[in-house]
Chains A and B, each alone.
Chain A
Amino acid sequence: MITWLLCAVVVVGAVWVVSLRNLFRAALSLGLVLVGVAGLFLTLGAEFLAFVQILIYVGAVLTLVVFAIMLTSRATSAEPADVSRYRLPAVIVSGALFGLLLSVTSTLRPPALPGASEGAVTVSALGQALVTTFVLPFEVISVLFVAAMVGAIAVASAKK
């Protein structure tokens, strides 16, 4: 029941994200989607991922996006409307993609999900896996983080 409710919140928020004219409101709807997805993580027994989602997405990424919208709002408010001419082809393409994905995934029958508590992945098991099985992607993503942050500062800094 709570899963259906969260799914409805996520889908409605996602529709708002792509359809609202005001980009600031779209960003706030993205926050709604992110919180809803975190709730879905909780129902799937992934508590750590839910908190990571809230902390990183809602706490950091959404703040960045809101700052960027505010800093560039002079450019957007002067424009007539943030709507492209290609709305009908986009509806056709995304509708076809949705139908294709649904037709593929609707044949999947989930095994009976264990209860939210039993069979849940503990944080210690997740941490163990990150430094043993997944140590190579873990280190690669650390390097990627440094490169991305240095690159972001270099690109956005106001020199010249």
Chain B
Amino acid sequence: MAPHPLLFTSCALVALGVYGILTRRNAIGILLAIELILNAASLNFILFGRWVGGVDGQAFAIFVIALAACEAAVGLAIIMGLYRTAKTVLADEVNLLKG
């Protein structure tokens, strides 16, 4: 039987996010893929909160969005610092800790 369209969408978002994390070389591209996965999580929170009823699902979706904002700010700051020191944003060329 066919899955619910919203569940299909969130599954697709997670799978595409994992694909993006695995294939992107640019660190900002990896960050974009992580945002896809976080969106799938908040979509699921709201969908199941709607099925169960009550306010809990939406409250946790707010926390997910807040965490995503923090993650984007810190991640982009790290990428900017990386660009300044290593002159690259490609994740597989960064080997500062290799010694």
Interface residues of A (CB under 8 A from B): 3-4, 7, 10-11, 14-15, 17-18, 23, 26-27, 30, 33-34, 37, 40-41, 44-46, 48-49, 52-53, 56-57, 60-61, 64-65, 67-69, 71-72, 75-76, 79, 82-84, 86-87, 89-91, 93-95, 97-98, 101-102, 105-106, 108, 110-111, 113, 119, 121, 125-126, 128-130, 133-134, 137, 141, 144-145, 148-149, 151-153, 155-156, 158
Which 7 residue pairs spanning A and B have beta carbons closest together?
A18-B20, A98-B15, A90-B22, A94-B19, A152-B77, A106-B3, A148-B70
The B contact surface, by secondary structure, is: helix
Residues of chain B at the chain A interface (Cβ within 8 Å): 1-9, 11-20, 22-26, 28-29, 31-33, 35-36, 39, 42-43, 46-47, 49-51, 53-56, 58-59, 61-63, 65-70, 72-74, 76-81, 83-84, 87-90, 92
* B73 adjacent to A64 (CB under 8 Å): yes
A interface SS class: helix
Known: A10-B13, A61-B35, A72-B83. A45 touches B65 (CB 8 A): no
Question: Which residue from chain A places its CB closest to the CB of B13 in the assembled complex?
Answer: A14
Chain A residue nearest to B1 (CB atoms) is A106
Q: How far apart are B76's CB and chain A's nearest CB, in angstroms?
A: 5
Q: How many A-B residue pairs have CB under 8 A?
A: 232
Given contacts A94-B15, A110-B4, contact A82 B25 (CB under 8 A): yes
Kindly state the separation between the CA atoms of A27 and B33 in the bound complex, as whole angstroms: 10
Q: Are A110 and B8 within 8 A (Cβ)? A: no
